[in-house]
């Protein structure tokens, strides 16, 4: 009998250790709490007693959960609660006694049916999201172009199945033909406001438009202007914007020309240990159609390292809601100075993972490390 119990437990937990199960449960509970608590008014009224406030908050939580269901499933849920909390009663009328049997069992059955319906929706959605993840994976580069004297390494980790972060490195297409200019490398890291499917869809349109415009624009400023105009056309409601760091690297002169459209300032660490932040640019794209962008230039020397990242890295939180922050990011860069781009990236992502621990990931994390190795 004990063997069957162990086999059953192994199948249920998939071999996950008890401490990991508890950590996962706490993480999911926090995520659910944040979801429902957004709809609760936590401010206590002047004439509201503690008991009244507790009742109001409990009622708000109840409606926050119930209204997530479809109308038909709300009816099932309420019926199940009635049968569970009022399982049976006696009704006396003019000497007659009507006995209502205990129907708690049927309430549990209704809850089980409701659970099955919600689970079916979740499985269907998960399957669709998995397909979307595969399609998104096809759009992202799996390996950086091999360039003598230059190391490029990148990694991304979505908060959900699909992400709104975008990164790419590709040779600039020549104007008016299908050939590419192997002397000019375009580098882009972008972060669409929001997460999951809406952000992923906008990310796909951004990639397509960038790839198209890269072969039609003469310079980086013109490319960013036209990319912004396109983003504004797709953002008619004004609720979505995208931060973009777009750079053009000349493989002959080793000069980096860049525009930072509201993105986190990349970190350029020189071999001497000096740090520069690439901040010149303008507004995020999709905000203002007439926005103007200024570009900056810098030259990479042997041993220089450039880190481009999205805000999901520095805003990653642990269980105490402390952020990973730039200070810890700089500490990793100092500790890995002189190492390869892939080693620096691996250590940075590992440091973030160790800091976060079992806390849920709230935002997509994307990092790109570029290191000059030519002599």
Gap between the Cα atoms of 303 and 375, Å rounded:
9
For residue 319, how many other CB atoms are within 10 A of its CB?
14
Q: What is the pLDDT of residues 44-93, one digit of tens each?
A: 666 778 888 888 888 888 888 888 888 888 998 888 888 888 766 666 66
Q: Which two tokens stand for residue 297?
A: 């230039």
For residue 279, how many other CB atoms are within 10 A of its CB?
13
Residue ranges per structural domain of the chain: 65-139, 141-372
pLDDT range class, residue 5, cuts 50, 70, 90 = confident
Question: So what's the pLDDT on residue 136?
Answer: 66
Q: Judge whether residue 1 has pLDDT over 60.
A: no
Mean pLDDT of 194-199: 72
**3 state SS of 367:** strand
Q: Which two tokens stand for residue 172?
A: 């600039």
The residue ranking higher by pLDDT, 328 or 236, is 328
pLDDT range class, residue 96, cuts 50, 70, 90 = low
- Of the chain, the end-to-end C-alpha distance in Å amounts to 70
Fold of 141-372: Phosphatase 2c; domain 1 (3.60.40)
Q: Where are the alpha helices (DSSP H) in the chain?
A: 2-13, 18-37, 50-66, 71-85, 104-139, 196-213, 220-234, 311-314, 325-335, 341-356
Q: Judge whether residue 176 has pLDDT over 60.
A: no
Q: What is the pLDDT of residues 350-367, one digit of tens each?
A: 999 999 887 778 888 999
Residues with Cβ within 8 Å of residue 330, at least 6 apart in sequence: 267, 275
């Amino acid at each position: 009998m004990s063997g069957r119990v162990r086999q059953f437990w192994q199948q249920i937990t998939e071999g996950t250790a008890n401490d990991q199960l508890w950590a996962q449960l706490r993480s999911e509970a926090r995520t659910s709490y944040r979801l429902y608590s957004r709809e609760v008014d936590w401010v206590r009224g002047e004439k509201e007693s503690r008991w009244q406030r507790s009742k109001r908050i409990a009622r708000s939580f109840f409606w926050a959960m119930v209204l997530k269901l479809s109308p038909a499933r709300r009816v099932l849920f309420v019926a199940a609660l009635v049968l569970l909390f009022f399982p049976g009663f006696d009704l006396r009328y003019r000497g007659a006694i009507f006995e209502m049997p205990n129907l708690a069992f049927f309430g549990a059955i209704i809850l089980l049916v409701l659970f099955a319906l919600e689970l079916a929706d979740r499985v269907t959605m998960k399957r669709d999201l998995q397909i979307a993840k595969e399609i998104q994976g096809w759009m992202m580069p799996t390996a950086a172009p091999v360039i003598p004297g230059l190391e490029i390494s990148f990694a991304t980790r979505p908060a959900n199945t699909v992400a709104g972060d975008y990164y790419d490195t590709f040779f600039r297409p020549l104007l008016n033909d299908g050939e590419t200019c192997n002397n000019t490398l375009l580098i882009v890291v972008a972060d669409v406001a929001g997460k999951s499917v809406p952000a992923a869809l906008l990310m796909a349109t951004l990639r397509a438009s960038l790839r198209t415009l890269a072969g039609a624009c003469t310079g980086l400023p013109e490319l960013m202007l036209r990319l912004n105009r396109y983003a504004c056309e797709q953002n008619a409601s004004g609720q979505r914007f995208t931060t973009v760091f777009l750079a053009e690297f000349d493989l002959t002169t080793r000069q980096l020309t860049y525009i930072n459209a509201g993105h986190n300032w990349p970190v350029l660490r020189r071999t001497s240990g000096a740090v520069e932040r690439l901040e010149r640019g303008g507004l995020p794209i999709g905000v203002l159609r007439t926005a103007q962008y200024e570009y900056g230039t810098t030259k990479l020397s042997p041993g220089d390292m450039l880190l481009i990242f999205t805000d999901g890295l520095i805003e990653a939180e642990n269980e105490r809601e402390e952020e990973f922050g730039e200070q810890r990011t700089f500490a990793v860069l100092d500790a890995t100075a002189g190492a390869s781009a892939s080693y620096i990236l691996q250590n940075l992502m590992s440091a973030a993972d160790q800091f976060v621990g079992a806390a849920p990931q709230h935002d997509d994390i994307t990092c790109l490390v570029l290191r000059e190795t030519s002599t």
